[in-house]
Homo-oligomer: A and B are copies of this chain.
Amino acid sequence: MKILIIEDDTILNKTLSIGLKKLGYSTDSAFDGEEALILFDLNQYDAVILDLNLPKIDGLEVLKSMRKTDQLIGVLILSARCEVDDKIAGLDNGANDYLTKPFHFGELDARLRALTRRRFIQANTTICHGSLELNTSLKTVTVNGRSVKLTKKEYGILEYLALNKNKVVSAEELVEHVWDSNVDLFSNSFKVHIFSLKKKMAELNDGVDIIKNTRGVGYFLMEVKDENSK
């Protein structure tokens, strides 16, 4: 878990950094609002610890700016006891939490855990086409429950075809989307990949081709009937 610590007090910043590292977090430190936003743009954080009294750019401005690009990230606001006023309280929209100084590290850890957890509530993203099912999170493929192991390129081709179901996709378009831009379009690497992909997919479907080609036009996915609905 990577935490961005935004705190201008160098000693407290260091203390937080050392303490959190002991707890197993990795941390980056920013000492003013400007530095904070630069680091925030550059890296992927799981949570942010934010002091509101900052040089250069005010803490509340930093918070607003971060929220523009990331609605999900949890922000833990550090504030002195007696300092929590309506301004801060009003910010509590669920993505923020606050902690009053002085605090216990155990408490900080617990709150960070709660804040970071929210980012990982994820829906499983699947693309379906008849009984063909692609899980884009796991990059796995099943046909009527049976699964194959595909290589990265094979999966990439199949996913692009599945995204363009009910459409014929030219070999050029497939190569363009699955390979990076400096690939040689005239090599027959693509032919080899689509060959092995077609073979693997047919094996999953009792030997019947799922990926078809229309000469001179391109490739498309056949709709595979669900075995249960036969």
Contact = CB atoms under 8 A, between A and B. Distances in A.
Interface of A: 1-2, 23-24, 26-28, 39, 42-44, 46, 81-82, 84-86, 88-90, 92-94, 97-98, 100, 104, 106-107, 109-111, 113-114, 116-118, 120-122, 124-125, 135-139, 151-152, 155-156, 159-160, 163-164, 166-168, 173, 176-181, 214-217, 220
7 contacts: A24-B155, A98-B114, A114-B120, A114-B121, A122-B167, A135-B166, A138-B166
A86 B109 CA distance: 10
Given A81-B84, A84-B107, A214-B139, A177 B44 contact: yes
Going nearest first, the 6 A-B pairs with the smallest beta carbon separation are A89-B110, A152-B216, A120-B163, A26-B180, A94-B107, A137-B167
Contacts of A2: 176-181
B100 A100 contact: no
A6 to B, nearest CB: 14
Contacts of A106: 86, 89-90, 94
B114 A88 contact: no
